């Protein structure tokens, strides 16, 4: 019986003369961001008791869209690969375990009322949020806006702003002034 192991491996590929694709010797495993050697993958694929599924390359710059509210698998995968983690400030939960959220809320009544959809299901309007931060955004005054592919600006209930992009989180507000207490004599 074949064993099935699910790994999300990412390797750099280049096209060479003759239309052949050449992969770099090292890549990374999405789970834990571990280094992976191409030779390891070749050995695993050569094992007769291993089931291997190769998924197509996803262009992270393409704007994919769906007509309804539900996020299809191809769009979900693109958002997961683009965001890599929950996009809430300072969160590091892997995107593969996150919800895919409509940044601008999907209006379920828009079509029936003949209005344009304010929050369409397309990759520029989606972000990966872990369940905790998805609920926080939905049920509190936290909100966020898209400023570029995989780049978001979050605003806290107190008006503090944070930029979240693939490199991490950057506070946009100046740091608070240190308190100045009078010295004891």
Question: Is the separation of the CB atoms in 45 and 52 below 8 Å?
Answer: yes
Confidence of residue 66 (pLDDT cuts 50, 70, 90): very high
Q: What is the pLDDT of residues 163-184, one digit of tens each?
A: 999 899 999 987 666 666 666 7
Backbone angles phi, psi at 58, to 5 degrees: -110, 125
**pLDDT greater than 80 at residue 106:** yes
Question: Is the separation of the CB atoms in 97 and 130 below 8 Å?
Answer: yes
Q: Give the separation between CA 49 and CA 29, rounded to whole angstroms.
A: 21
Domain boundaries of the chain, sorted by first residue: 3-51, 65-171
| pTM reported for the whole predicted model | 0.73
| Half-sphere exposure (Cβ direction) of 15: Cα atoms closer than 13 Å | 3
**Residue 133: its pLDDT value, please?**
98
């Amino acid at each position: 019986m074949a064993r099935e192991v699910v790994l999300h491996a990412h390797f750099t590929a280049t096209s060479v003369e003759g239309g052949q694709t050449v992969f770099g010797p090292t890549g990374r495993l999405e789970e834990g961001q571990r280094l992976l050697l191409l030779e390891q993958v070749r050995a695993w694929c050569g094992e007769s008791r291993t089931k291997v599924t190769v998924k197509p390359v996803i262009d992270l710059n393409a704007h994919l869209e769906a007509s309804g509210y539900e996020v299809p698998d191809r769009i979900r995968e693109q958002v997961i690969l683009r965001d890599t983690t929950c996009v809430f400030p300072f969160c590091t939960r892997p995107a593969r375990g996150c919800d895919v959220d409509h940044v601008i809320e999907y209006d379920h009544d828009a079509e029936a009322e003949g209005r344009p959809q304010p929050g369409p299901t397309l990759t520029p309007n989606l972000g990966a949020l872990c369940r905790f931060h998805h609920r926080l955004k939905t049920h509190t005054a936290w909100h966020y806006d898209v400023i570029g592919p995989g780049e978001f600006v979050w605003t806290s209930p107190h008006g503090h702003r944070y930029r979240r992009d693939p490199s991490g989180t950057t506070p946009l507000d100046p740091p608070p002034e240190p308190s100045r207490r009078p010295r004891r004599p």
